[in-house]
Amino acid sequence: MSPGPPGKPPLQSDRIDLLSPHRVDPAVPIEDVGSTRKELIGAGIVRHVGLSEAAAATIRAAHAVQPVAAIQSEYSRWTGEPESQILPLCAEREIGFVPWSPLGQGSLTGRIDSSARLEGSDWHKNFPRYTPEAIAANRALVRLLQDLAAAKATRTTHDLAAIAKTSASVEIHDARLPEAILQYSYR
C-alpha cells in the first residue's frame, strides 16, 4: 500500500488504475514513454495507461507499444476538435474518451465577458480565446447557448429510463459510489 502524504490516510492500493500524463512531452519519443509504461504494467504497478491532449498520430504510436485505455481532451461546443480524428480513432481502437471542460474553460458560462480583467497569474490570459476581441466576437455564441438553456428542454420518463438502463450497463471497476471514491481521496 502507498503510504500517502504525511498526515493523510494511505491510498489503500498497491497499484495505479490509470496512469495518464496531462500533456505529451514533445522532447520524449512517445514510443519511449510507451515502453516505460509497459514495464510498469508488467510489474503490476499500473493497470492501464492513458494520454491527454494527444494528436491522433501520437495515440497510434503509443497504442502500438502499449494499448492505451483512455484519452482525455478538451471537448465542448467551444472546441469540437476531437470529433474529426480522435473520437473515430478511440472507437476503432476501443479506447475510452474522457472529455474535460465542457464549458470551454469558463468561456461558455457567460461569466467571462468584455468586463473581465485577466491579470497576474490568471492562466486564461495565455489563450487566444480570452483576448478582448475574441470575447466580444464569441458573445453571440454564449447568448445562443443561454437562450437554449432558458428554453428548459425536458426529458420524458422513457428518456430517463433509457439513460438509467444505459448507464447501468457501463462497467466500472473498483469503487463506484461517491462515498467510496471520497475514501480514496484526500478530502
Per-residue pLDDT tens digits for 125-162: 777 777 788 788 778 778 887 787 777 767 778 877 77
Residue 84: give its domain's CATH number. 3.20.20.100
Domain-located, residue 147: no
Residue 49 main-chain phi, psi, to 5 deg: -125, 155
| CA–CA separation, 69 and 95 (whole Å) | 5
pLDDT of residue 177: 47
Any domain includes 7: yes
Residue 187 DSSP symbol: -
Question: How many CB atoms are closer than 10 A to CB 136?
Answer: 11
Residue 82 in domain: yes
| Domain range enclosing 98 | 1-102
Does residue 19 form part of some domain?
A: yes
Report pLDDT for 119.
75
pLDDT above 50 (res 115): yes
Is residue 118, in this structure, part of any structural domain at all?
no
Predicted local distance difference test score (pLDDT) of residue 9: 65
Edge-first strand order for the sheet with 70-74 is: 16-19, 46-52, 70-74, 96-100
Q: How many structural domains are present in the chain?
A: 1
Calculate the CA dihedral of residues 110, 112, 113, 116 and round it to 10 degrees.
150
Whether 164 maps to a domain, the answer reads no
Residue-level pLDDT at 186: 40
pLDDT in tens, 34-59: 999 999 999 999 999 999 989 999 99
Residue 80 falls inside a structural domain: yes
Confidence at residue 180, expressed as pLDDT on a 0 to 100 scale: 47
Question: Is residue 109, in this structure, part of any structural domain at all?
Answer: no
pLDDT of residue 174: 47
For position 29, what pLDDT does the model report?
94
Round to whole Å and give the CA distance between 102 and 1. 35
